[in-house]
Amino acid sequence: MKPKKALPILFLVMFLVMVGFGIIIPVIPFYAEEMGASPTQLGLLMAVYSFMQLLFAPMWGRISDRIGRKPVMMIGILGLALSFFLMAISTQLWMLFAARIIGGFLSSANMPTVMAYVADITTEEDRGKGMGIVGAAIGLGFIFGPAIGGVFSQSSINTPFYIAAVSSLLTFFLVMVSLKESLTAENRKKQSKKKRSLRQTLKGPNSILFSLQLFVSLSLAGLEATFAYFAAEKAGLGALQLGYIFMIMGFAGALVQGGLVGRMTKKFGEGSVIQVGIIISAIGFGLILFIDSFLTAAIFLTVFGIGNGLIRPSVSSLVTKTSTTGHGSMTGLLSSFDSLGRIIGPPLGGWLFSLSFGLPYLSGIILSIIALVFYRVYLAQTRKLHVRSS
């Protein structure tokens, strides 16, 4: 399938997937509380989804290298619909946990297969643009999803879960009807010849990119978990104002990923864009410490969002370009490291915030510096390999 036809469909698919996921975000804490969940149990309920993705994203990526992207993507989206429906009919806390575990296990197929699909259909020159379009869809989905969930939760608290389930089912049929398989039988054979063990993959230079992704995800998750408390303390901002701020940041990130990343990676290469993104993110973290109003909070958080928006699609693009194994295997591992950061980040950010409410953002600067150092190490290692091979 040609990129011009496939990329708009992939954009719509990932947008709808993330809208469905986002719909339940503002509702699930209250839903779980109605079933008697303690704060600790609520934290575990949120974390178990990411934990399942951490475990199973690499597996689904490898499966997509063997049987193709489309069937694995369909399994992931159908699994998401099933988990939303199970949550909607849950009457006890254990049922919610079961639904989240099933959803995490099956939906972990989505991200690696979509990124691998993009890698299959794009040239190396246009890879960053393709990854950026997927990133923009994810960002926009996260903006509209929670807003929709908040509106429909007014009628009944489980209505958003039914809406998310229906949205996911529609997405499933969209993929089934509109999307053609990107990995032909011939290409599957080529990818199977490139198989390497997980241990071998994690020993190469790409392992440094996985670690870089972990630190980026860790810093973002720590910010997301603590910013509401920080903004309330520093600038007296409430829930509605924070919703607007995150919406502004999300739109800025989506615009950067959808319109700027492709041009920048084409002109300067992924490595330069990653480094610029890390530096801008670090500046954003530093500026956040000085917020004192809605305006400064919106501007400074948007600076961070722009930097983060430059990093993620560029790392995905670079990983698939330098892959010594199937694209699905590599994007699956990348998703797994991203999930690990999302598991560790919130409790770490909360702990740092309890020590001093500026610490999560100071640590964000430090994590950004570490990520930049990791990229420089990656660059040095790849240069050494090129010298040896030549």
Residues 94, 91: Cα–Cα separation, whole Å: 9
Q: From first to last of its 390 residues, what are the pLDDT tens digits of the chain?
A: 666 788 899 999 999 998 888 888 878 888 888 888 887 788 788 889 889 999 999 999 989 988 999 999 999 999 999 999 999 999 999 999 999 999 999 999 999 999 999 988 988 888 999 999 999 998 898 888 888 887 888 778 888 899 999 999 999 999 999 999 988 766 666 655 555 555 555 667 888 999 999 999 999 988 988 888 899 889 998 877 888 888 899 899 999 998 899 999 999 999 999 999 999 999 999 999 999 999 999 999 999 999 999 999 999 999 888 776 678 888 898 999 999 998 998 889 889 998 988 999 999 999 999 999 999 999 988 888 776 665
Three-class HEC string of 293-361: CHHHHHHHHHHHHHHHHHHHHHHHHHHHHCCCCCHHHHHHHHHHHHHHHHHHHHHHHHHHHHHCCCHHH
Provide the pLDDT for residue 378: 92
Provide the pLDDT for residue 202: 60
Provide the pLDDT for residue 199: 58
Residue 389 CB contacts under 8 Å (≥ 6 apart), including other chains = none
Q: What is the DSSP letter of 259?
A: I
Domains defined along the chain, listed by start:
1-193 (1.20.1250.20), 194-390 (1.20.1250.20)
- Nearest 10 degrees: CA dihedral of 311, 313, 315, 321? -150
Output the CA–CA distances (angstroms, integers) from residue 330 to 247, 338, 379, in the order listed. Answer: 31, 12, 18
Residue 365 CB contacts under 8 Å (≥ 6 apart), including other chains = 282, 285, 286
Single-letter amino acid code for the residue at 202: L
- Nearest 10 degrees: CA dihedral of 208, 209, 213, 214? -20
Q: What is the CA radius of gyration of the chain?
A: 20
Residues 231, 247: Cα–Cα separation, whole Å: 15
Q: What is the pTM of this model?
A: 0.86
